[in-house]
Structures are given as C-alpha cells and as structure tokens.
C-alpha cells in the first residue's frame, strides 16, 4: 500500500527517516530529484535520496475504478484515459513522423545501449539483487540475481526493426511497433543529493550539479512531446541556449515523440543520447 516506506525500512533506513511519494507518471523520478533539491535549498533537509521506480509487471490493465461521467464528458479529460500507443500514433500523424525515421532512431538507441553494456559502463551504477523468478510455462519459482538491464535487444538493426508488425494498427498509420517503443519493464534508480558544503564536509566526490527543473503542460492526446515546451523553459530559466548544451536526454518511450522533439527544437541529432560515459 505504501511501497516507498516499506522499501526504505526493508533497505535498512532508520524509522526516523521520513519518506514521501509523488506521481508525475514518466517523470516521477525527475520530480523526486527536483523535490529533494528544493528541500535542500530551503534548508528543510541536508541530504536526500531521490528514487524513481516502475513496475509494469505489477500494474493492472483496466484495473482502476470506473471514470465519472463528469470527467468523461470532457474530451480533453477523456483523452487522459486513452492508451499510450494512441498518443504515439497521434504524434506520428500530426507531425509527420515516418516509420522509417522511428526505426532508424530506435536502432541507434538499442545499439548504443548494447555497446555501453558490453563495455561495462553501467556496472558501477547497478546494485545486483536477488529475486524470485517464475517460469511462465511450468510455474516453478527460482532465485536469480539481476545484475544488468535484461531489456536490451542485442543485434538490433534498422532492417530488423522494419520487419516488425504494427503494435497499434487501429490508430493513425500504425507506425509504432514493439521495436521502436519501450517494452513492459520493471526498474528503479536513485540519486543522492546534498549541498556542495555538505558533500565537501563528508569528503564525497561530486558527480553532477542540479540547476533547474521546468514543467509545462499540453494536450493529453499528444502527451509525448512535452519536451518541446519544457526544454526551452528550462534553458531560459538557466540562462543558456541549446548551443550551450552538449547532450540531451529526451524520453524515448516511443520513437515518434523523441524524433519530433529534437526536430522541432532544431537540436543536432548527434547531441541526442550521444554515447558519453562518465567512466573510462
């Protein structure tokens, strides 16, 4: 019922350490970072752990309560209850993002992930953990240790992606597939934040600096293109331009959305998800 609190206690955090949850769908983890940073800036806390978690295997489909007719009678509000694949197809149609463009981007993304994993660039960032895994055929449970991302599709090419059938042929032009969209997955990530003064006091190596967060809204039917307005807002607040940024990471749940975003913002393709590991 309260996974954040139970997880913190199970991980060994003292009962005196408070925990809170927030929800902004795909960007919940990012908002956790912003929330911790703001608390540190205001003096509420000195150190905070921002965590993002997604467990799609435990997410029931159509398991929520029936939506009130007072909500469903509003077209924009009703769109909030539509499938994510529908929004991807809307983006592809509305902004003329072709299947070829989506497959090309997705292939590059899979290939970069495979290369990074093979070179071991994520090893220091991943904490192995042991869990029970159930065989889908026999139902037998066995203990397995997860030590790397098992969702990376090795050997993916643009040509192999082109052979995959449409995942949503009932909508738009059916350009979204199981290859140019993210799979159902479980995962979690965390980042430790504190003031520079506190980090130096504790003798910790500073890996990055939090500057600003910007949040903007848009029509639910094209929810994936939020970065088109959020990125300029963040840059303006930070007092910099696209030319000042070396690398952009944009949500790529669907290739349609990220392709449109970097094209609409005139971000050079080589700046999007460039392979730039921290450790060499």
Going from the C-alpha of 264 to that of each of 34, 150, 221, 234, 245, the distances in angstroms are 26, 32, 18, 16, 16
What is the gyration radius of the CA atoms in the chain, in angstroms?
A: 21
pTM of the model: 0.90
pLDDT bin (cut points 50, 70, 90) of residue 115 is very high
Residue 276 has pLDDT above 60, yes or no: no
Residue 278 has pLDDT above 60, yes or no: no
> What CA–CA distance (Å, rounded) separates 238 from 241?
9
**Percent of the chain residues topping a pLDDT of 70:** 95
Domains of the chain and any CATH numbers? 3-59+82-271 (3.40.47.10)
Tell me: the pLDDT tens digits for 84-112? 999 999 999 999 999 999 999 999 999 99
Residue 71 has pLDDT above 90, yes or no: no
Going from the C-alpha of 185 to that of each of 41, 52, 232, the distances in angstroms are 34, 13, 30
Residue 29 has pLDDT above 80, yes or no: yes
Tell me: the pLDDT tens digits for 258-267? 999 999 999 9
* pLDDT computed for residue 66 by the predictor: 73
Residue 42 has pLDDT above 90, yes or no: yes
* pLDDT computed for residue 275 by the predictor: 52
The chain-wide mean pLDDT, for the chain, equals 92
146 or 59: which leads in pLDDT:
146
pLDDT bin (cut points 50, 70, 90) of residue 280 is very low
Q: What is the DSSP string of 54-88?
A: EEGGG--TT-SPPPPHHHHTSHHHHHTTS-HHHHH
Residue 41 has pLDDT above 70, yes or no: yes
Residue 279 has pLDDT above 80, yes or no: no
Residue 61 has pLDDT above 80, yes or no: no
**Percent of the chain residues topping a pLDDT of 90:** 76
Q: Name, in order, each residue with C-beta under 8 angstroms of 131's C-beta and a sequence gap of 6 or more.
A: 143, 144, 146
Closest CA to 208 of 138, 278, 273: 278
* pLDDT computed for residue 60 by the predictor: 66
User: How many of the other CB atoms lie within 10 Å of CB of 105?
Assistant: 23
Contact indicator for 31, 22 with CB cutoff of 8 Å: yes
Tell me: the pLDDT tens digits for 198-231? 999 999 999 999 999 999 999 999 999 999 999 9
Both structure tokens of 21:
């949850």
pLDDT bin (cut points 50, 70, 90) of residue 254 is very high
* pLDDT computed for residue 129 by the predictor: 87
By three-state DSSP, how is residue 263 classified? helix
Lowest-confidence segment of 59-68, 128-137, 183-192 by average pLDDT: 59-68
* pLDDT computed for residue 223 by the predictor: 94
Contact indicator for 267, 228 with CB cutoff of 8 Å: no
pLDDT bin (cut points 50, 70, 90) of residue 69 is confident
């Amino acid at each position: 019922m309260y996974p954040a609190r139970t997880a913190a206690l199970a991980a060994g955090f003292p009962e005196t350490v408070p925990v809170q949850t927030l929800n902004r769908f795909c960007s919940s983890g990012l908002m956790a970072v912003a929330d911790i940073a703001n608390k540190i800036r205001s003096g509420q806390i000195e150190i905070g752990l921002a965590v993002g978690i997604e467990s799609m295997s435990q997410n029931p489909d159509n398991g929520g309560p029936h939506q009130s007719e007072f909500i469903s009678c509003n077209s924009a509000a009703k769109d909030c209850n539509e499938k994510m694949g529908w929004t991807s197809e809307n983006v592809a149609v509305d902004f003329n993002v072709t299947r070829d463009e989506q497959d090309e981007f997705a292939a590059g993304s899979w290939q970069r992930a495979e290369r990074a994993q093979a070179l071991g660039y994520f090893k220091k960032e991943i904490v192995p953990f042991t869990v029970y895994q159930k065989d889908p055929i026999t139902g037998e449970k066995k203990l397995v240790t997860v030590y790397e991302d098992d969702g990376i599709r090795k050997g993916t090419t643009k040509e192999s992606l082109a052979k995959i059938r449409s995942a949503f042929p009932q909508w738009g032009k059916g350009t979204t597939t199981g290859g140019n969209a993210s799979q159902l997955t479980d995962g979690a990530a965390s980042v430790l934040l504190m003031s520079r003064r506190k980090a130096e006091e504790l003798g910790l190596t500073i890996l990055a600096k939090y500057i600003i967060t910007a949040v903007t809204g848009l029509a639910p039917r094209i929810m994936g293109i939020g970065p088109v307005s959020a990125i300029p807002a963040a840059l303006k607040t930070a007092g910099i331009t696209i030319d000042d940024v070396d690398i952009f990471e944009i949500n790529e749940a669907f290739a349609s959305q990220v392709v449109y975003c970097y094209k609409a913002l005139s971000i050079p393709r080589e700046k999007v998800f460039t392979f730039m590991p921290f450790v060499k």
